[in-house]
Structure formats: C-alpha cells, structure tokens
Amino acid sequence: MSKPLDRMTLLETFVRISERGSISAAARDLQISQASASRQLKELEERFGTQLIRRTTHSLRLTAAGHDLLGDARALIANWETLFEQHAGTDGEIKGPLKVVAPIALGQLYLANIALEFQIAHPKVNLEWHLEDNPIRFAEEGCDCWIRVGPIPDDTLIVRELGQIERLVVASPAYENAASMIMPEEVSSLPFVALAPYEGGHIRLYSDQGQTFELKPGTPVVTNNIFSVRKAALMGVGATILPRWFVEDDLNQGRLLHVIPTWHAPELRIRAAFLPARHQPKRLEAFLDAITQGVREIPGIKV
Amino acid sequence: MSKPLDRMTLLETFVRISERGSISAAARDLQISQASASRQLKELEERFGTQLIRRTTHSLRLTAAGHDLLGDARALIANWETLFEQHAGTDGEIKGPLKVVAPIALGQLYLANIALEFQIAHPKVNLEWHLEDNPIRFAEEGCDCWIRVGPIPDDTLIVRELGQIERLVVASPAYENAASMIMPEEVSSLPFVALAPYEGGHIRLYSDQGQTFELKPGTPVVTNNIFSVRKAALMGVGATILPRWFVEDDLNQGRLLHVIPTWHAPELRIRAAFLPARHQPKRLEAFLDAITQGVREIPGIKV
DNA sequence: AGCGGTTACGAAAGACGTAAGGATG
DNA sequence: CATCCTTACGTCTTTCGTAACCGCT
C-alpha cells in the first residue's frame, strides 16, 4: 500500500551506478538484473522528484542534483554499515574496505609502513591506499580517511590533529659559507628553491627564542614536487626549506647541511579527516589509532 | 532470495515502539496493523541477531542492546530525513519537528523569546521546547538541539560556541559596607550563597587587569537553583555570584548591588550541541542562526 | 475479562528476470 | 551492428491485514 523497495538499497544502487558509470556494470556488481538496476534508479529519481543521472543511451552523466546526492548517499550508507557493524551481534572483528588518501612523499616514505603493518595485523581489512597531495572530494570519492599536511578545506569533515612537522633550512655543502651561517640574514644571500603550496614570495623564520625574521629570497626554482626540491637542494641549486623527516638521512650522510640550526620555518600541521558520525567503523578507529601512534615515530613530527 | 522490507522503516518502527512503550500504540501511530509492527520488530531482531526489546506480554522493556541501538537508530533516521529534505526537489521550506533542550532559567527569561519568535517566523516548524539543566541522553531522547551552560558531556555531539556569560559578585544593599568594596579581600567578610554546579569551596575572581584572587567564603546556603540564589541574595542571606543577564534588572532597580565591580568570576560558556552529520536539517540550521544571533542581545553575554 | 503480543492464513502488492524495443557511437 | 538503457509481461516472493491464540494484570 505504500513504498517498499529498501531506500538504502536504492541509494546503494545509485552510488554503484555512479561509480561504474554504467547501469549494466553496476547490476553485474550487485548481482541483480540490469533491468532491476535501471528500475531502481528510476524509482529513486521519482522519489526525489529530480533526475539524478542523464542517460544518453551509451553514456551516463551525473546531473548537478546527482552529484550533490552522491556524497551524502555515500555518507548515509557508511552510517548504516557502521550501525550494523556495531549492533549486529558480530564478534567485533576488524574487517572491511578502507580507503585512505595520504600525501605522496610522506605516504611513500613513512605512512606506507604504518598502513601496511596495519593491514598485516588485520588481514580482513581491504586497504585502498591512495597518495595524493591535492584536495579531494572526500565523500564523493568514497574515502574513509584523509591524511593531509596543511588545511582540510572541507567543513563537512571531522578533523583530528596528528602532529606538527618540523621544517629546516637546508642547503648543499657545496655552499661553503653555509655551514657557518647563524643568522637568517645570511641565508638571504643564497638562491632559494620553493615548494609551491607552502612557500610564497616571503618566508617567515622563527628562532628557538621566538624571534621572527622575514626572508625574501630570490627563488630561481619553484615546484610543487617535494622530491624535486630535495634534488635541487642536493644539486646545489639553492637553499630550501624541507621537513626534517624528509632530509634526516641527507643530513646524517652529509649530503645536505642544516643551515642556521637555531632558526626554523613554521611547523606544518598534519591531520586526519573523516566523515562526521556518532561512531566510526571499527577498522577506521583502529587505523586512526595506528596512524596516531605511528606518526609519533617519524623524525621531526611532534604532537 | 533477498531481503526486502525497508531497513530504515524497520528502524523507524523500532524507535516508535521504544518511545511509545507499546507495539500496538506504535502501530497506530504508524498506521499499520499491530501484527505488522510486531513482525517488523521481530525481523529487525533477526537481522541483528539480538533481542532488542524484552516483551512480557503486557509491558515492554528495552534490552541493553536495544538501548544502545536506540540512539544510533534515531541518528540514522535523522540523517535520512535530512538527506531527503536536501535532495528531494522541495521548495526549501523550513518545517518539521524540532526538539530543543535549554537551561531552565536562561530558557525562561531569554531563550524562550528567541525560540518562540523563531516558531512564529516559521509556523510549519513543530517546536518542542524542554527546559532542563542536567545532562541529557541526547540521541536516545530524540533531541535536535541542546543549549547548555557549561560542558557538553557527550563526545558524540558537535558543539558550537555561542558566547561567554559574564558573572558578577552581587549582594543586597542591606550590606551597608558592600557598596564601597573594591578589593576581593573585603568580600571574604560577607557570607556567601553558592550555586551548586559552578561554585565549590573556593571561587576564583579575576580583575579587569587580569589579577586573580582566590575567594574562600563561608557558604551558609548552597543550592542548585539559580532563582533561589537570587532570592537569597535579595533577602540579604549573603553575597553571591550571578550572571549579569540574571541580575541586570535587580541592579538597575537597586535591589542588588554590584560588589567590587572591577572584579568578576570566570565567564561560563554557553554552547549549542547537535548530532554530527554532513548536513543539518534546514530547520535546525535556521534555529541555530536565530539562537546565535539572539544570544548576542542578552545582557552580559559576549561572543 | 480485557488488553496486548504472537502466529497462521489468504489475498494483494510489488519486485524480479526474461525478453523485446529503441537509441547511439 | 553492437552496446546499453528502457519498458512490457508473467512469475514468484513478500508483506499486509484479519483473526485466532496465548499470557498477563
């Protein structure tokens, strides 16, 4: 007499269709006939009174409304799954898919270890490990956890502070006078390699005693790739600012010099973000614990 | 071959049964046969593999599992409703039920105006206005917005700061020397009336210049009721600390004196709390706007 | 006895898959 | 013309209400 057809299922089908870009592919995934998938999408559109996906016979495209819905639908489905995990008399086992997005360099060099050890400790977790420095569309992409250095430009997310990243002024030992530098003014004489998102025209430095100094170096090279910054520094293109975790080895091996060691650039904040909800899935809680713990062991990251 | 019966409906029925304490009453509410309601509850229990409600033929009682589920179920249902409101091609009208819990005294004297004007401005909103000073079980009670002075002891909620409540030392003009008091030491000579949750054995006072003073008065009366504190102060039982909004009239009318006016007790924080979610219902967004705005107009509340 | 919850049964509604039809690259 | 979405149709599942049954107060 009213409206059967599970609402949550309707959303799940819609999400699957959106991400596969095809009704038939989604139907195959969901083990239903392609006619069923088509009908479910239609039904959802009727209930919302809006077209969600524009079909052009051989290609699908989300409408604006569909686009908007996608993130919310994913979040709601995740909420249901968490609720079910929490209340269905399960054995509290940690399992299921977990999509994590992390910064590229830190992800490669340090976080991957943490994440992979986590996966080994919880073999039933299906880890999807994406490295990406740029902002993402968290909910739309079906992400579970986003680790980022710098701001989280999405106010629909919950943000957890993980630590502060110490950053040093470094330069190639080829700069013979660099080793003896003590005051930031002296650094101004060196050419500078800038990492695009963090350093603009001027760079503020802080001393251990809390003094500040505005550095306005020439920047012959600007790049958004931290590996290139390091390479440039190693090759002696100029001085630069890099996180301690990234240059710790270079400093120990003498490939780079820590210039004006009593001064440093502002710390960057590393954070984890995830969807707002009353409870997070167990696998996410566990992963956040592992990351929070693991980050403490990275050189130059303080809580 | 599959399992229809809308999951969300199952939860809705469960919540309705829980709050009515009766399957037949819930069935009436939901316009389904009582047999249906009974079956749906059974179905939900089977899916979760747990008994949620213990039936003793003539009375229902939530099991522990049922109790736990109730809050989460309510939150999930609210999420669905918000999603539907946002994406169903509605006209963006502000309507629907809105349950607000607010502190008793502030709620009576100031917030009621704000809330009632809000309701008049949005007649389709069904406002449920509860005044309660003690902590509540937010989600279990089906609350939408909790306004509280002091901490929000529920870390599953999102908290928004609304302002700081200025508090003054006041006393009856019957204390003839009170009017001339300037330094907190002098106040120690007066008996003190304490408001239970906020003032313990000692009270820290701050001067406008940032000095602090630890007041350790005798407290012949301790009460948890702010109206009684005021009454006691008016009757000359002793000095006390009260929020400016509560005594503004008394001060203007000369019924109370503002003692040592360059000193004050620590501000209390007033906050609004609500369920975590990607989006809040329009009626809640609008209500929060109204409250945030309205609170600014209350004497002695600063952002 | 009366009220409330559960279970059985027949009827009605709805969702599924198959298959045919239509549009596009 | 091959692919993919939509629609029509017949079947089967599922859910509903009615009603009988059972247990408390």
Q: In degrees rounded to 5, what are phi and psi of residue A121?
A: -70, -25
Percent of chain B with pLDDT over 70: 97
Q: Say yes or no: Cβ of A23 under 7 A from any atom of strand D.
A: yes
| Chain A residues within 8 A of B8 when measuring between CB atoms | 6-8
- Token couple for B96: 């629907």
For residue A146, pLDDT over 50 is answered with yes
* Least confident stretch, A176-190, B8-22, B66-80, B278-292: A176-190
| Chain A residues within 8 A of B79 when measuring between CB atoms | 75-76, 79
Q: Residue A50 and residue B80: Cβ atoms within 8 Å?
A: no
Orientation angle between helical segments B34-48 and B23-30, nearest 10 degrees: 110
For residue B182, the model assigns a pLDDT of: 86
Q: What is the mean pLDDT of chain A?
A: 93
Residue-wise pLDDT tens digits, B254-295: 999 999 999 999 999 999 999 999 999 999 999 999 999 999
Residues 6+ apart with CB under 8 A from A301: A162, A163, A164, A165, A166, A245, A270, A295
* Least confident stretch, A190-204, A271-285, B24-38: A190-204
For residue A256, the model assigns a pLDDT of: 96
For residue B238, pLDDT over 50 is answered with yes
For residue A48, pLDDT over 60 is answered with yes
- Token couple for A56: 């052009």
Q: Which residue of A has its CA nearest to B277?
A: A276
- Token couple for B257: 């004196």
Q: Which of B74, B151, B34, B190 is nearest to A87 (CA)?
A: B74
Q: How distant is C1' of D15 from CA of B278, in Å? A: 34
Q: In degrees rounded to 5, what are phi and psi of residue A208?
A: -60, -25
Q: Which residue of A has its CA nearest to B75?
A: A278
Rounded mean pLDDT, B179-203:
83
Nearest to B88 among A48, A86, A277 (CB): A48
Q: Which residue of A has its CA nearest to B69?
A: A87
Confidence class for position A1, pLDDT limits 50, 70, 90:
very low
- Token couple for A204: 């503020």
| Chain B residues within 8 A of A3 when measuring between CB atoms | 6
Q: How distant is C1' of D9 from CA of A39, in Å? A: 15
B117/A256 Cα distance (integer angstroms): 67
- Token couple for A42: 């239609």
Contact yes or no for B73/B65 (Cβ under 8 A): no
Rounded mean pLDDT, B209-228:
88
Report for A193-197, A269-273, B190-194: range of highest mean pLDDT: A269-273
Q: Which of A136, A172, A140 is nearest to A253 (CA)?
A: A172
For residue A3, the model assigns a pLDDT of: 59
B71/B76 Cα distance (integer angstroms): 9
3-state class (DSSP) for residue A239: strand
Q: Say yes or no: Cβ of B165 under 7 A from any atom of strand C.
A: no
3-state class (DSSP) for residue B21: coil
Task: Supply the DSSP symbol for A175.
Answer: S
For residue B181, the model assigns a pLDDT of: 84
Q: Which residue of A has its CA nearest to B78?
A: A76
CB contacts < 8 A (A, B): 93
Contact yes or no for B74/B138 (Cβ under 8 A): no
Rounded mean pLDDT, A199-226:
86
Rounded mean pLDDT, B55-71:
90
B98/B96 Cα distance (integer angstroms): 7
For residue B167, pLDDT over 50 is answered with yes
Residues 6+ apart with CB under 8 A from A174: A236
- The sign of the dihedral angle between the CA atoms of A111, A114, A120, A125 is negative
Residues 6+ apart with CB under 8 A from A58: none
3-state class (DSSP) for residue A159: strand
Q: Which one-letter amino acid corresponds to residue B278?
A: R
A129/A107 Cα distance (integer angstroms): 9
For residue A172, pLDDT over 70 is answered with yes
**CA dihedral of residues B208, B210, B211, B217 (deg, nearest 10):** 60
- Token couple for A211: 């003094």
For residue A200, the model assigns a pLDDT of: 66
| Chain A residues within 8 A of B76 when measuring between CB atoms | 76, 79-80, 83
Nearest to A4 among B4, B65, B158 (CB): B4
CA atoms within 13 A on the CB side of B202: 9
Question: Which residues of B sit within 8 Å Cβ distance of A?
Answer: 4-8, 47-50, 65, 68-69, 71-73, 75-76, 79-80, 83-84, 86-89, 139, 156, 158, 275-279
Which stretches of A88-198 are DSSP H helices?
104-106, 112-121, 184-187
For residue B200, pLDDT over 70 is answered with no
Helix (H) or strand (E) holding B11: helix B7-20
- CA A30 distance to own-chain centroid: 29
Q: In degrees rounded to 5, what are phi and psi of residue B265?
A: -80, 160
Orientation angle between helical segments B7-20 and B34-48, nearest 10 degrees: 110
Q: Residue A48 and residue B86: Cβ atoms within 8 Å?
A: no
Confidence class for position A19, pLDDT limits 50, 70, 90:
very high
Nearest to B65 among A3, A49, A87 (CB): A87
Contact yes or no for A283/A95 (Cβ under 8 A): yes
A160/A269 Cα distance (integer angstroms): 10
Contact yes or no for B12/B84 (Cβ under 8 A): no
For residue B177, the model assigns a pLDDT of: 83
A interface test, pick of B278, B279, B280, B285 with most A CB neighbours within 10 Å: B278
Q: Residue A275 and residue B278: Cβ atoms within 8 Å?
A: yes
Residues 6+ apart with CB under 8 A from A54: A60, A61, A62, A63
Rounded mean pLDDT, A197-215:
85
Residues 6+ apart with CB under 8 A from A162: A147, A270, A271, A272, A291, A292, A295, A301, A303
* Least confident stretch, A184-188, B99-103, B142-146: A184-188
Q: Say yes or no: Cβ of B40 under 7 A from any atom of strand C.
A: no
Contact yes or no for A224/A195 (Cβ under 8 A): yes
For residue B179, pLDDT over 90 is answered with no
Q: For strand C, which residues in window 46-105 of chain A come within 7 Å by CB?
A: 56-59
Contact yes or no for B70/B18 (Cβ under 8 A): yes
Q: For strand D, which residues in window 51-110 of chain B come within 7 Å by CB?
A: 56-59
